[in-house]
Amino acid sequence: MKKIKNLSVFMILFSVLTFVSCETEPVDPVLSGGEGENPGTNPGTNPGTSEGDYWPMAINNQWVFSEDGETLDPMKITGTENVGGNSYFKIDQFFTNAGTSELTGSAVMLLRKNGGDYSVRVSVNIPDQEGVSITVTPFEFSFLKDNLATGESWTQTVTQTTTTVIPDFPMEIPPVNLTLKFTGTIVEKNATAQINGVTYTDVIKVKLLQQVDATMGAPATSVVTNIWFSKNVGPIKSVSVEDGFENNQELKSYILN
């Protein structure tokens, strides 16, 4: 599990606002239909044949990134989990951190590769405070499809439900549904990138647009994240832009098993 302490690339708990929450394992959020529906996390559809391994997944694989000259904690695969009959790899860091600095708890991030589709499942666990319990459904989205051509894209819409229970409250609090939209685009394929003095080949660059609808008086938000993946290495660079602020992470070292 990862301590929640950073401003999120997208606000997983956006709908919770100032409440304190805890995560349970109810039904996975709904991936709404459409031409660009996620095939990797939607049972019964074909994710296509992979064109290589752009994020090698094995226990103890790790990637260390630097940001503004500072070495970050390793992005490490620590174990496996089975959810809904699907096998996932648990990773203790990801490019989209969960939560905000005002919340204390932990996030569980699970990676999965299905054919050419790479997805991450995100859930949050924050202990109850003063008897107030908030359940936020986990969600999953695709961040890479290695078998798409340059310029091709996909879109997912996730409905996330937040349920609040306050002991002895005189009325039932209605659940809050939050709509999250993810749009991925393959920007480059078969590219070469030089990161921290190392030249990486067979690179795919993907752009992720993450949008959160306005809710409960809070404004809509959007974040653009570009991630570079090198074949048989994994992620090598990430650049995120939100509200004019840029976050740049570059691979410093990695270990594969």
CA atoms within 13 A on the CB side of 219: 3
Structurally, the chain folds into a number of domains equal to 1
> In the prediction, which pLDDT does 5 show?
34
- The C-alpha atoms of residue 144 and residue 223 are separated, in whole angstroms, by 16
> In the prediction, which pLDDT does 243 show?
80
> In the prediction, which pLDDT does 95 show?
67
- The C-alpha atoms of residue 121 and residue 142 are separated, in whole angstroms, by 9
CB atoms under 10 Å from CB of 58, counted, come to 10
- The C-alpha atoms of residue 202 and residue 77 are separated, in whole angstroms, by 23
- The C-alpha atoms of residue 52 and residue 11 are separated, in whole angstroms, by 31
CA-based nearest residue to 161, from 24, 4, 8: 24
Q: Give the DSSP letter of residue 95.
A: S
- The C-alpha atoms of residue 212 and residue 157 are separated, in whole angstroms, by 10
CATH of the domain at 225: 2.40.360
Which residues of the chain, if any, have pLDDT below 50? Answer: 1-44, 96-104
- The C-alpha atoms of residue 256 and residue 171 are separated, in whole angstroms, by 53
Which amino acid, one-letter code, is at 199?
Answer: T
CA-atom Rg of the chain in angstroms: 18
* pTM for the predicted model, two decimal places: 0.77
- The C-alpha atoms of residue 64 and residue 253 are separated, in whole angstroms, by 5
Residues of the domain holding 143: 2-255
